Structure 1
Amino acid sequence: MKTIVIKRVYDCKKSDGTYRILIDRLWPRGIKKADLQIDEWNKEIAPSPELRKWFDHKEANFEEFTKQYIQELNIKKEEVQRLGNIAQKISLSLLYGAKHPKINHAIILQNYLLKIYG
């Protein structure tokens, strides 16, 4: 397995030799599509709109958000497997737009993939 890293999209717009996936359901504010070098935009692996809105990036909700997002990932087996297959061949960068570097779905997804494929 190659590495799976997370990067804030605002800090890492250019290609870096990894397979770069934007894992947010919404396009990041203030970034033009032409300015962001990504290999794919995967809205399906992002938390559901209902879960994202409930979470609202509040630290007090993060533990429950983690549990619920993992339940959603457990249902998305084909997509999770596809990402795992990519990470077997090339290093994978999971790009996210959230402000908080420790309270976001990218961390959960990274840990989930590493647990299964790491």
Structure 2
Amino acid sequence: MAVQLKRVYDDPSPGDGFRVLVDRLWPRGVSKERAAVQAWAKEVAPSTGLRQAFHRDGLPWDEFERSYRAELAENPALDALRAELARHPVSTLLYGAQDPDRNHAVVLLDELGL
């Protein structure tokens, strides 16, 4: 089983496999058809407060990462997502953030341990 990350704004490709949006909010300007999302796991996204603190208020990355990992540790949706991903040979976690290295999907993938 392989799990990869990709911006939801990038074109879908056959190599994406099972496509899961992991943002709490639907990405602006992207239709459901263009996104080609098979599942929307908004329950595993950072809480609204944490997301706003990071994107709007300038919460440092290390604090965001630590807080998000703490949220995931108590989130039963993480195990549900892990089980769903295990049913597919290839899956892609889709996110809307511009930074490919410092976004919640990077942390989520690490916490999934896949």
- TM-score band by shorter chain is 0.7 to 0.9
The partner residue of 2:85 within 80, 84, 87 is: 87
1:103 aligns with 2:102: yes
Tell me if the contact between 1:55 and 1:62 (Cα under 8 Å) persists in the aligned partners. Answer: yes
Q: CA deviation at 1:14?
A: 5.0
Number of aligned residue pairs: give it: 113
Q: Secondary structure at the match of 2:60?
A: helix
Name the % identity: 36
Tell me if the contact between 2:24 and 2:45 (Cα under 8 Å) persists in the aligned partners. Answer: yes
Q: CA deviation at 1:88?
A: 2.1
Match in the other structure for 1:66: 65
Q: Which amino acid aligns with 2:72?
A: L
Paired with 1:81 and 1:22, the residues of 2 have a C-alpha distance of 16
Name the stretch that deviates more: 83-92 or 67-76. 83-92
Structure 1: runs of 5+ lacking an equivalent: none
Deviation per CA, 1:47-68: give whole Å up to 9, x if none. Answer: 0000000011788611110010
Deviation per CA, 1:51-94: give whole Å up to 9, x if none. Answer: 000011788611110010011101112x1112211232212211
1:45 aligns with 2:44: yes
Match in the other structure for 1:3: 2
Structure 2: runs of 5+ lacking an equivalent: none
Q: Give TM-score, length-normalised by structure 2.
A: 0.88
Paired with 1:46 and 1:82, the residues of 2 have a C-alpha distance of 13
Paired with 2:98 and 2:56, the residues of 1 have a C-alpha distance of 9
Question: Runs of 4 or more off by more than 3 Å in structure 1?
Answer: 12-17, 57-60
Q: Which amino acid aligns with 1:83?
A: L
